[in-house]
Structures are given as structure tokens and as C-alpha cells.
Structure 1
Amino acid sequence: MNNDTAYVTIKDRIATVILNNPSEGNIIDEGMASTLNAIFIELNEDENIAVVVISATGPVFSIGRTQISSELSIHERRQILHDLNISDNLTRLRVPTIASINGDAMEHGLEIALCADIRICNTSTRFRCNDLYNGSAFPIDGGTQRLPRVIGTSWTMDMLLTGRIVDAQEALSIGLVNKVVKNDILENTTSELASLIASGATIANQYAKEAVYSGMEINLTDGLRLETDLNVILQSTYDRSEGIKSFLEKRPPIFKGE
């Protein structure tokens, strides 16, 4: 599952997926994409995982993806674009996800960050979606679809049409990230948040994620029905009983994800 350009570590029910090609700016190529997809698929089948963190080594998160030759046939280009797709398996993760953005997240790097439920970056991080503006390409991994869902249509069109840099503070102000922290505390801040989430009821967290994201794709009435259905299902779980029992016994709950 791991290779030189991407790997995963697991500790205390937290899986940390790391982009590891810093000499190339953690650029996304077919090899890294294949490894990341394999990691995400395996993590989604692991009942012991409560949170997934996506991070990177080096001074940047990811500056984008490998360039695709214009000399290739349409079929060949389509196949490469398919192979570079990461967002489908990342967004299918049942558990909460956190992007710990340790530097520039450009183009495909931004698209990966957008797939996370929560985004934290350091003060030196910059964001950009420059594919369209410079005419070299077009977003390939959900940029035109997920960015407006996160920051709204107007800010999305601003970023797409100008290809300009958005710094960390502006990213915070437009809702692109949840929190901006100093460079030297990003890892600890992310770890503390991941540990807090992992200490909660795993099934409840999964149901909350399902309700929020599925609810965005359906009308309000159906969304409310989904919320009610998930609430009813949750009542029969061990974690729900443990939550009540631990409260009455005045002790920390021990959730099992069951």
C-alpha cells in the first residue's frame, strides 16, 4: 500500500496519509495517485480507524499534478486523467477527514484539500486554481464542483478566472480553511483535533458525515427524513448505550464503533 511518494501511519485510531515527494513539490503523478487510492480504499475498510489526516512532507502540501502531453490522443489523455483521480476514494471515506496543509496547495493539491471535512493550514500557505487562467489545463479532480460548495460561487469564479494566489488569511476569511496556525504548531494542532474527534462516538461521527453530505444533494424534506432515519438507527448501537452509561457513571466513555 505504501511507496516512496505516499504512505500512511496509524496510531490511536488515527490514520495519517502523507504525500512524500518534497523534491518535486509533492506533485501528483500516476504513481502517487495509485498509491493514495489504494490507501484510501484500505482505510475505508478498516473498522479500527476513526479519523484520517492528510498531510505532506517538505515545505509545501502539493503544487499540482504532472503535466499531460498535448501530443497524446484523446483516449490516452482521458485514461491519464482517470488514473490521476483521487477525490472519489478520498470523499468516500466514512470517517471524518482533516487536511493538515503545511504549505502551498495549488491546482490538484487544492482539489485534494477540498475533499477533507476540515482544513487547517499554516500562516505561509497559499492556494491557487490556475489551470484555467493560464490555459494549460482544466481542473480534473472536482475543483469546479467542490470549491463552490465550500466557498460559494462568487469566490470560486474569482479564483478560477483570475488564477490569483489566495493567502492563508484570505482563505480563512472566505471559508476555504477552518483555522490558520503558526508553522511550528500545525502538526500539534492537527493532532489535538484528530484525537478529540477520535475520542468521540465513531458511528455517530460517521452518521453525521453521511447526513451532512448526502443532505446537500437532496431536498430539505428528504434530508430531514435521512436525519431521522440515522437517528433511529443510532439508538440501537453499543456506542449510544455506552455514552449514556458513562455519563450516568461519571466516567469517560469507551466507544467501540459498534
Structure 2
Amino acid sequence: MSILEISSQLINVLVTVEDEIALVKINRPKALNALNNDTLSDLNKIFDCIAEDDSVRGVIITGEGKGFVAGADIVQMQGYKSIEGRKYAALAQMIFNKIENLEKPVISAVNGYALGGGCELSLSCDIRIASTKAVFGQPEVGLGVIPCFGGTQRLPRLIGSGIAKELIYTGRQVKAEEALYVGLVNKVVEPELLIEEAKNMMKTILKNASLAIGFAKVAINRGLEMDIDNGLELEKDMAALSFATDDKDEGMRAFVEKRPAVFKNK
């Protein structure tokens, strides 16, 4: 099924494709785009479709209104007990893993509140660009629970365990400039420039060989879970795959001939 066909079936997510870039917008602004089951289901469907669609080479995720994603849906969760809570966490983790492991670059354009599950969604992306109005946080302990959409694992891997523990234990919110300072985001821009900046960065990325980017993403993501020796073995394996592509031949030929490479993603 095409992205156009899938997008017509979605409830809380809008999707457009332009210049080989899919813009995925969480569209539940009255709830600050909180992640209920319908929204998670939408994300699951669209990322399955994006993974299979060769016409899409990169993805940008953002939110409608004042929120990127202001967290999981507390109204939905408040009646959950142990089993239901674990199933909800498993569902969100499965989808966020799918985003993280997509062999295409994913940028989160964080336009506003990225709290709880919203912060965790941004963590599953490769690169985070924040509006000056963006606010990050993991406030779950104030609700009597812990981050469970990947926050206890991805946040310390990104910014270090000390700062991650401070943010998770205190539940305090972090504005864009502090998020940049601690390494939670890559860049901060004015709100009106956010999507343009994300698109420009993605276009710069997509000038390069998409297969090589995918191999590099696998090497980085999986390598973070390995010791250095196994990580280097993985790097050699991914390099070997890249050397077998037509894009490698084109890229090196273009370099020798002093001309821009024309990659065909083969």
C-alpha cells in the first residue's frame, strides 16, 4: 500500500512527501499531541510503509500546534495496572525501535513540548532540531511511574548517565538552549525556520549515497551496544556491503573525474 493510501486511513498523523522527504506530523493539538493508542497505531502503519517505499529517502517528524508530543495519554493510562502498563510500554517501544532502526535518516523537528513519550520519540530519531520554544523533559516519576518508551535507555546513552538521572529523578523541564548545551539536541532555530532547517539538513544528507547512510546507521546504532572489538567487526561488515554497491563505483569515479556524483541508490 502506498503512503498516499495509508495516509488517508490515519487518525492522528498527517503525512506529505516532497523531494523524497516524508514529513510526518502528529496531529492531535487539543491534547498537545499526546500518544494514545490511535496515534501509536498511526505511527506504526506509516513507518512500515516508509520502510518499504524507495521513493522516500528521509523522514522528518514534527507536531501540530504548541506541542511536539507532550507525552503519553494519561487519561488513557490512569486505569492501567501492571499487565496493561507493560503492554503499553511494549507497544510504544516496538514502534520507537522501528523508527530508530529504519535504514533511512530521521530528523525530529521539535516545535514545542516534548515531554515524556514525546522526548522519547525524539530520542528514537537520528538528529534533533529544536525550536526556541521547544521544552524537553521526562516527568514520569511525578506520576508515580518511570519513563518506559525508551527514556531510561536512550537518554543516558545520548547525554550521559549523570545528567539523564538528574532529569529523570527531578522530572524538571529543559528549554531548548539547555537541551543544546547538554547534547540533547543538535541545533536550535527560531520557530518559523524549524521545518525549513530540518528540510535543508535532510537535503544535504540526501546528496550522499542512501545505501551508505543506511549502513552507517546500522554500524552506529548496533555498535553502541557492543564492545569496541565487536563494533569494529560490524563496521568492517557494513563497509564490505557498501563496497559492493553501484553507488560506491559512481562515488569514487566521480571523485577521480572531479565531478559531482549521481547516486542511484543501488
TM-score > 0.5, shorter chain as reference? yes
Residues 172 and 137 from structure 1, CA distance in 2 versus in 1: closer, same or farther, beyond 3 angstroms?
Answer: same
Deviation at 1:69, TM superposition (A): 4.6
In 2: Cα distance, 1:253 partner to 1:236 partner: 17
Match of 1:36 in 2: 43
In 1: Cα distance, 2:40 partner to 2:99 partner: 11
2:208 is aligned with 1:200: yes
Match of 1:90 in 2: 99
Share of identical aligned residues, percent?
35
> Which of 163, 169, 191 does residue 183 from structure 1 map onto?
191
RMSD (Å), alpha carbons: 1.6
Asked if the contact 1:16/1:54 (under 8 Å) is kept, the reply is: yes
In 2: Cα distance, 1:222 partner to 1:79 partner: 33
In 2: Cα distance, 1:64 partner to 1:139 partner: 10
Determine helix, strand or coil for the equivalent of 1:52: strand
Asked if the contact 2:11/2:38 (under 8 Å) is kept, the reply is: no
In 1: Cα distance, 2:163 partner to 2:187 partner: 18
Moved more, 7-16 or 29-38: 7-16
Aligned amino acid, residue 231 of structure 1: A
Match of 1:17 in 2: 24
2:159 is aligned with 1:151: yes
Deviation at 1:58, TM superposition (A): 1.1
> Which of 129, 141, 148 does residue 140 from structure 1 map onto?
148
Q: Give unpaired runs (5+ residues) of structure 1.
A: none
CA deviations over 1:145-202 (Å, ceiling 9, x no partner): 0000111001011101111111111100000000011111111111100111111100
Deviation at 1:91, TM superposition (A): 1.3
Instruction: Count matched residues.
Output: 257
Aligned amino acid, residue 215 of structure 1: G
In 2: Cα distance, 1:31 partner to 1:230 partner: 36
Match of 2:136 in 1: 127
Determine helix, strand or coil for the equivalent of 1:164: coil
Deviation at 1:135, TM superposition (A): 3.0
Asked if the contact 2:11/2:42 (under 8 Å) is kept, the reply is: no
Moved more, 30-39 or 43-52: 43-52
CA deviations over 1:18-65 (Å, ceiling 9, x no partner): 111112101110001001011111111223322111111112201111
Deviation at 1:249, TM superposition (A): 3.4
Asked if the contact 2:101/2:218 (under 8 Å) is kept, the reply is: no
Q: Which has the higher helix share?
A: 2
2:115 is aligned with 1:115: no
Residues 93 and 147 from structure 1, CA distance in 2 versus in 1: closer, same or farther, beyond 3 angstroms?
Answer: same
Asked if the contact 1:95/1:206 (under 8 Å) is kept, the reply is: yes
TM normalised by structure 2 equals 0.91
In 2: Cα distance, 1:235 partner to 1:82 partner: 37
Match of 1:231 in 2: 239
Deviation at 1:70, TM superposition (A): 4.6
In 2: Cα distance, 1:81 partner to 1:214 partner: 22
In 1: Cα distance, 2:143 partner to 2:112 partner: 24
In 1: Cα distance, 2:179 partner to 2:217 partner: 23
Residues 249 and 112 from structure 1, CA distance in 2 versus in 1: closer, same or farther, beyond 3 angstroms?
Answer: same
TM normalised by structure 1 equals 0.94
Determine helix, strand or coil for the equivalent of 1:99: strand
Deviation at 1:113, TM superposition (A): 0.3
Determine helix, strand or coil for the equivalent of 2:265: coil
Correspondence 1:240-251 to 2 at 5 A: 240-251=248-259
Deviation at 1:83, TM superposition (A): 3.7
Residues 186 and 71 from structure 1, CA distance in 2 versus in 1: closer, same or farther, beyond 3 angstroms?
Answer: closer
